[in-house]
Amino acid sequence: MKLLQRLTQPLETQGLRARQLWTKWETQLHQITDQHLRQHSLLPVARSPHPSSGQSKSGQSNGSSGQPNGHVIRNVSSGTASRSSLLVAATVLVITSAIGHRFYNAPKLDVGKAAPQTIVAPASATVEDAKATEEKRKVARREATSVLMLDQAINQKIEQAIQQQLNQANELRQLAGGFPFAKTATLSNSVQTYLRKASAQDWSEVVMAVNQATRPRKRASQELKPTALDANQQKAFAELRSHRRAVSAADYIALVDTINEARSQYQAALKSLPKLVLPETTPVFDASLLDLSNSEWRRLQTRLLQAVDRILAQGIPSGLPQPLLAEAVRLQVTDWVPTGTETIATNLLLASLQPNLVHDETQTRLSAERAAQDVKPEIVTIKQGEAIVYAGESITTADFALLDHFKLSRRGVDWVGLIGFGVVVGGAVGIYWLVERRFHPGMRRRDRTLIVLLTLSTPLLVALNVPSTNLSAIGLLVGSFYGSPLGIAVAALLAFCLPLGTVLPWSHLLSSAAGGILCGYMAGRLRSREELALLGAAVGVLQGALYLALNVVSGVGIYTLLGATVIHGLIGLAWSIVAIGVSPYLEQLFDLVTTIRLVELSNPNRPLLKKLAAKTPGTFQHTLFVATLAEAAARALGCNVELVRTGTLYHDIGKMHDPLGFIENQMGGPNKHDLIDNPWKSAAIIKKHVTEGIVMARKYRLPKAVQSFIPEHQGTMLIAYFYHQAQQRSQEAVAQGKPAPTVNDADFQYDGPAPRSRETGVVMLADSCEAALRSLKDATPKEALAMINKILRARWQDQQLANSGLTREDMSKIATVFVEVWQQSNHQRIAYPSKPINIQPSASKV
């Protein structure tokens, strides 16, 4: 931590110097402005107050007594109003000049406008029609053929699927047994095929016929005539009978057993065949697979894999109709695979093939650019004296190219357009002013300067041809510094003015505007840098999605569009990161307080708060209870809760200059003021905690909004205890005939100022009621409320809250909230016995 502080010390020193230079420059600017206005009788010459006007005891003028008459006050108001008007006009002028640069060199005779007169060429010329050429090149880029490339991962997937199908087929054929299952010299392939497929009855009839034919005849009626068999049975009968006559009975029986086993295996394979077919797909294999010989099957596998390699090498594009793919497969397998296996090969390929051509983003872009460069420029030729455009005709791109070439397009400042745009900017500034007055009144000049500078950064980026606007960064910064309403207003109004004064693609502008509005809405609600980082990611997603939605029908290639979408989303994220990174420097330079900065400052581990807890523990506990009271009241009144809590934590840091001078830090020891025995010196010690607190706050670079709690929480109140003690001593001296010391109210009165905001007013009341609430032990809520109301009434009647913005209704709410917090912290507890309880052991343990 010490190393980090050592590294950041130069940056902090530079920030302090920058703030000092800024304040000096701002003061000089106001002095120059005031002098200029006085020269034009817009401001009165400064006058000293009238001797009889008088000052109140608080050091503030009563009513209008600070001026000799009301006329000067009206002149001051008039001068302030005039100066504000000049600043608003300057703001409108600067923003109009920065954003409206499209009006500076605008041609009066532009494409689409009617020619006011017939314009002839002053000389012969050959000119390129750049606009027409660019339009043709855009068309060429858009219509350029998409370049495809083979996806090896898909090819590998297809090959694996085909090999898996072949493995399943091999398992099925093994289950069915080898084929042919007998020597072809004994039984032909056709007979073996038939015998495996034949029904049990047909097979029994063939066997019976063979047995009867080879058995001695007894009666003609007992012999089954071969003519009763069908053609397949007769062929099988003939071959089996020939074999039966040529071999022994044992060999014949072995052949019959072989046939029975082959039939059994074949039926088992047929039952397993449906398991290889998915219900939503066309069957890949059928019973014909089992009828192939081993040599035919091996040849089919080899030829099939070769056909797959050829098809994949040619490529299958996405979106290819299924009939075309089926026709291409049929042409590949015809006359290539063994005869009779075409159906098996076709079904297997159609079940496994899928598109393997994907879009080649790089080559497509290069191809589109080559196509655009191949477009010949549109050349316009004209001879001297020929008419470029006739009066009343609409100017075409070719006409404009000639007019611009001869400098006849009348380029110059488009004052009408620029003034109209200035009116639009003025309306936008007016809308912003209304939003500011409604949601953030009392902004400083430096705050408005920062908003103007952030606004001007956007047209600067446009002028530098940066491919994106920084609306998301502006929305995030303004929303963080001044709240969501101003963040949304600045981002939305700037997005509205940009397309009027500059040339920006709508997809870029709208997506950036959406990101800026989202940042403006959310930034004022976040409490940590981590939440801001998540917001940046959300902005990136939003900008990318909106950019994609706006360009999805533009005709751009999907891969090109996705790449641009990702880039645009990353740009939105990058601007959010830039805003988060620059935010601490702007906070220091412009003395800003954001919610996140207030949360960081209220961390008890901050060096100044740790020092306060260590040196003045009683004051620190007092501070915590005051913070609890003030925070609850601020939440009930709708005030800035984070500012109230942070300001309360630092409001008594000045007591560290003399901790024992305050009773809460004496811890029951002797009272220092009894030893001093001088109410004037004691009052000076008490008053000094305000001035010393301001010095410490400046040393630790606390924001001015937090520093204001140090003097304003005491206002211009009297240090009543020592004031009355001094009066008593003065009276005693008079009674004894001794010189009486002079009792000046200013010696026993805080220097102020009185609270100038609702937040500091709430802290004053919480600080005044804290000691009284702590002293209440057995009081009822009604008694506590009566005491609080008495204290609040005293502050109200003493005019301490006159400039705070608090109302009588607010005072009632504050009193109620204070009592509720006191009840929560003063709840009843169980009274424990004063003597320890002796627990006797039970009989079972004796």
Would you say 792 and 745 are in contact if contact means Cβ atoms under 8 Å apart? no
Summarised one tens digit per residue, pLDDT across range 605-653 is 999 999 999 999 999 999 999 999 999 999 999 998 999 999 999 999 9
At 71, the pLDDT band (50, 70, 90 cuts) reads very low
Q: Flag whether 494 is in a domain.
A: yes
What's the chain's Rg over C-alpha atoms?
A: 49
Q: Quote the pLDDT of residue 4.
A: 38
- Quick one: average pLDDT of 131-152? 83
Contact residues for 447 (Cβ-Cβ < 8 A; gap 6+): 481, 482, 590, 592
CATH code at position 793: 1.10.3210
Looking at the structure, do residues 402 and 424 belong to the same domain, yes or no? no
Looking at the structure, do residues 675 and 745 belong to the same domain, yes or no? yes
Domain boundary among 391, 412, 433: 412
pLDDT for residue 174 is more than 70:
yes
pLDDT for residue 101 is more than 80:
no
| pTM value surpassing 0.85 | no
Average pLDDT, the chain: 80
Summarised one tens digit per residue, pLDDT across range 736-755 is 888 878 888 888 899 989 99
Looking at the structure, do residues 499 and 629 belong to the same domain, yes or no? no
- Residue 392 belongs to what domain range? 106-129+378-412
Q: Flag whether 218 is in a domain.
A: yes
- Quick one: average pLDDT of 287-315? 86
Does 49 or 662 have the greater pLDDT score?
662
- Quick one: average pLDDT of 445-458? 91
Does 380 or 272 have the greater pLDDT score?
380
Summarised one tens digit per residue, pLDDT across range 342-376 is 888 888 888 888 898 887 777 887 888 888 888 88
Contact residues for 790 (Cβ-Cβ < 8 A; gap 6+): none
Looking at the structure, do residues 186 and 226 belong to the same domain, yes or no? yes
Token pair, residue 223, equals 């012999």
Looking at the structure, do residues 82 and 200 belong to the same domain, yes or no? no
pLDDT for residue 453 is more than 90:
yes
Looking at the structure, do residues 185 and 229 belong to the same domain, yes or no? yes
Q: Quote the pLDDT of residue 223.
A: 47
* Widest distance between CA atoms in the chain: 174
At 553, the pLDDT band (50, 70, 90 cuts) reads low
Least confident among 20-24, 192-196, 354-358, 670-674: 20-24
Taking CA atoms, 343 is separated from 158, 169, 274, 289, 346, in Å, by 19, 14, 17, 10, 5
Looking at the structure, do residues 448 and 394 belong to the same domain, yes or no? no
- Quick one: average pLDDT of 157-182? 85
Q: Flag whether 835 is in a domain.
A: no
Q: Quote the pLDDT of residue 483.
A: 87
Overall residue count recorded for the chain in this entry? 846
Q: Flag whether 318 is in a domain.
A: no
Summarised one tens digit per residue, pLDDT across range 196-243 is 888 888 888 888 888 887 766 544 444 445 557 888 888 888 888 888
Taking CA atoms, 264 is separated from 20, 189, 201, 235, 797, in Å, by 103, 18, 14, 21, 113
Can you name the residues that pair with 128 across neighbouring β-strands? 379
Looking at the structure, do residues 495 and 571 belong to the same domain, yes or no? yes
pLDDT for residue 78 is more than 80:
no
Q: Quote the pLDDT of residue 596.
A: 83
Can you name the residues that pair with 379 across neighbouring β-strands? 128
- Quick one: average pLDDT of 253-279? 77
Domain boundary among 541, 564, 592: 592
Contact residues for 572 (Cβ-Cβ < 8 A; gap 6+): 468, 472, 511, 512, 515, 536, 539, 540, 542, 543, 544
Q: Flag whether 784 is in a domain.
A: yes
Torsion of CA 448, 450, 453, 457, to 10 degrees: -130
Looking at the structure, do residues 578 and 439 belong to the same domain, yes or no? yes
At 836, the pLDDT band (50, 70, 90 cuts) reads low
Q: Quote the pLDDT of residue 238.
A: 87
Does 684 or 11 have the greater pLDDT score?
684
Q: Flag whether 139 is in a domain.
A: no
- Quick one: average pLDDT of 576-602? 88
Token pair, residue 741, equals 């010391």
Domain boundary among 558, 592, 626: 592
Query: What's the total number of domains in the chain?
Result: 4
pLDDT for residue 33 is more than 70:
no
Taking CA atoms, 312 is separated from 121, 145, 350, 357, in Å, by 62, 21, 13, 9
Does 3 or 627 have the greater pLDDT score?
627
Looking at the structure, do residues 554 and 698 belong to the same domain, yes or no? no
Looking at the structure, do residues 546 and 609 belong to the same domain, yes or no? no
Does 788 or 674 have the greater pLDDT score?
788
Can you name the residues that pair with 447 across neighbouring β-strands? none
pLDDT for residue 47 is more than 70:
no
Q: Flag whether 696 is in a domain.
A: yes
Looking at the structure, do residues 214 and 247 belong to the same domain, yes or no? yes
Q: Flag whether 609 is in a domain.
A: yes
